[in-house]
């Protein structure tokens, strides 16, 4: 990749798991009442046909991984499990009381934190409690994030028996120096054991998460990590850039200096090398930062134009409504977003008062919905069109002006009333989306909020 393009387009920008992005939510006009109305409208429109997605956030970890930007609580006390599960189930009951009719679950994902911090018995109680008040879509998919160091056969078997067919393991990098820097000591043998057990039990999609751009990481480290990964051939791989944002994520990411991080050019070289090695191994690039074998549902969704992106990342199917349970979880009705409070004690207090524990959100207007669709098209299909009058906005002339420069650089090509991101431009998909982000164009953030795009 041309270094001049990297230098030109390597700017701070959103990852676009939503639009509007969280810093541009209009929290002043948001209310719990409006959120409930938004979700009810969405549920009534779509639940009978497609069901809903459910995300459950389990925030506890026994130790701090310094690369992590997720909401978590570090503790070795496992007596926190039961009260937290009780609160999540009560929050779910509050949503079930709000919705008209019995919800049908199409997607369910458990994230963290460390979901496998919880015992298999408590995870079973959680999932059974959720399913007791819901039906399942015929093509439902359940998934969870597993820590290879503490994901046991019991965890995998219990969740598989409850309908889970997909698991992702955080690998990051196998080099010991890098692992020490990010405080994630994790031998290859642990990942291998967890992967093989999952495959033996019957999981149909096993994923590995690999990060480039970590402190002290080199191209040789990335190559070695992918070489070891190829021994296990997970069904899908998330290969994504480390987001260094210590000003947002607290002391965890201040455990090393920026001088310990690879330069922009080196970081991009790590990505290009990893992408080449994954392609040689039979993986296909899916959207941004994801790779999958042809047998995996994520690849199949890309081929059939059913790929979707939300706060859980890329998914193989779309639901209009997504409910997030647990601290800091984000929900999406398509017409609105809401986020739960981030403090566990405050979360407990609100749920105990029979209050859905949201503290901020955004109600999407007509312009938001149009821009959201364009960005979703770009992130999932690398193209979008405004031939349909319903996808036209007044700022389109300004957007096209910005895209013309990207066309000169070979990143996009114009088609009849639309654009397509070229193969050369795919690593810059976030930059293309930023051209459509009218809220970002109208008002740049006063402080740095986002990680670098390249």
CB count, 10 Å around CB of 141? 21
pLDDT value of position 382: 94
| Domain assignment of residue 83, given as a range | 19-325
Which one, of 381, 376, 390, 388, lies nearest residue 436 by Cα? 376
How many distinct structural domains can be found in the chain?
Answer: 2
355 in a structural domain: no
335 in a structural domain: no
**Residues 151, 190 contacting (CB under 8 angstroms):** no
10 in a structural domain: no
Residues 299 and 382 placed together within one structural domain of the fold:
no
Residues 259 and 389 placed together within one structural domain of the fold:
no
Residues 264 and 177 placed together within one structural domain of the fold:
yes
pLDDT value of position 246: 59
| Sign for the pseudo-dihedral over CA of 174, 179, 183, 189 | positive
pLDDT value of position 446: 63
Residues 179 and 54 placed together within one structural domain of the fold:
yes
How far CA 326 is from CA of 55, 94, 133, 284, 340, in Å, comes to 9, 13, 17, 34, 7
**Residues 167, 207 contacting (CB under 8 angstroms):** yes
Residues 135 and 275 placed together within one structural domain of the fold:
yes
CB count, 10 Å around CB of 367? 14
Classify strands 52-58 and 60-61 as parallel, antiparallel or unpaired.
unpaired
Residues 71 and 171 placed together within one structural domain of the fold:
yes
CA atoms within 13 A on the CB side of 375: 25
Buried b (16+ CB within 10 A) or exposed e, 84-111: bbbbbbebbebbbeebeeebbbbbbbbb
Structural domain ending residue among the three candidates 296, 325, 354: 325
Classify strands 336-340 and 358-363 as parallel, antiparallel or unpaired.
antiparallel
pLDDT value of position 254: 46
How far CA 357 is from CA of 73, 151, 423, in Å, comes to 18, 30, 43
8 in a structural domain: no
- The burial class, CB within 10 Å (0-12 / 13-18 / 19+), for 233 is middle
pLDDT value of position 47: 60
**Residues 356, 329 contacting (CB under 8 angstroms):** no
pLDDT value of position 445: 72
Q: What is the pTM of this model?
A: 0.93
Tell me which residues of the chain have a pLDDT lower than 50: 247, 249, 251, 253-254
| Sign for the pseudo-dihedral over CA of 44, 47, 53, 58 | positive
332 in a structural domain: no
CATH number for the domain spanning 388: value is 1.10.10.920
Residues 273 and 405 placed together within one structural domain of the fold:
no
426 in a structural domain: yes
CA atoms within 13 A on the CB side of 116: 22
């Amino acid at each position: 990749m041309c270094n001049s393009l990297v230098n030109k387009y390597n700017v701070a920008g959103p990852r676009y798991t939503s639009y509007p992005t969280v810093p541009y939510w209009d929290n002043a006009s948001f209310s719990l009442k409006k959120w409930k109305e938004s979700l009810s409208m969405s549920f009534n429109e779509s639940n009978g046909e497609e069901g809903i997605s459910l995300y459950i956030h389990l925030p506890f970890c026994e130790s701090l991984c310094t690369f992590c930007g997720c909401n978590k609580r570090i503790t070795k006390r496992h007596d926190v499990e039961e009260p937290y599960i009780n609160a999540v189930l009560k929050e779910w009951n509050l949503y079930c009381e709000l919705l008209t009719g019995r919800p049908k679950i199409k997607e369910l994902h458990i994230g963290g934190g460390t979901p496998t911090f919880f015992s298999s018995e408590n995870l079973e109680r959680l999932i059974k409690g959720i399913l007791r008040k819901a039906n399942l879509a015929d093509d439902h998919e359940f998934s969870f994030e597993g820590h290879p160091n503490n994901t046991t056969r019991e965890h995998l078997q219990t969740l598989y028996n409850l309908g889970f067919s997909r698991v992702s393991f955080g690998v990051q990098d196998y080099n010991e120096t890098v692992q020490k820097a990010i405080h994630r000591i994790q031998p290859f043998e642990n990942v291998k054991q967890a992967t093989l057990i999952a495959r033996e039990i019957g999981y149909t999609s096993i994923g590995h998460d690999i990060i480039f751009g970590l402190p002290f990481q080199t191209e040789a480290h990335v190559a070695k990590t992918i070489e070891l990964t190829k021994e296990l051939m997970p069904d899908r791989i998330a290969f994504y850039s480390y987001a260094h944002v210590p000003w947002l994520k607290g002391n965890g990411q201040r455990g090393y200096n920026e001088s310990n991080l690879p330069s922009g050019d080196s970081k991009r070289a790590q990505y290009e090398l990893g992408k080449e090695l994954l392609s040689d191994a039979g993986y296909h690039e899916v959207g941004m930062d994801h790779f999958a074998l042809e047998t995996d549902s994520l690849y199949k969704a890309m081929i059939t134009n059913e790929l979707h992106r939300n706060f859980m990342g890329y998914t193989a199917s779309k639901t209009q409504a997504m409910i997030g349970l647990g601290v800091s979880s984000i929900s999406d009705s398509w017409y609105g977003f809401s986020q739960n409070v981030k403090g566990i004690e405050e979360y407990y207090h609100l749920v105990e008062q029979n209050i859905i524990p949201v503290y901020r959100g955004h109600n999407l207007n007509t312009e938001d919905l149009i821009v959201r669709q364009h960005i979703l098209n770009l992130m999932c299909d690398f193209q979008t069109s405004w031939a349909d009058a319903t996808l036209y906005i007044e700022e389109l002339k300004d957007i096209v002006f910005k895209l013309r420069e990207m066309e000169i650089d070979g990143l996009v090509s114009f088609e009849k009333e639309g654009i397509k991101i070229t193969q050369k431009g795919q690593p810059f998909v976030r930059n293309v989306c930023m051209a459509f982000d009218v809220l970002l164009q109208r008002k740049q953030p006063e402080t740095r909020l986002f990680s670098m795009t390249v």
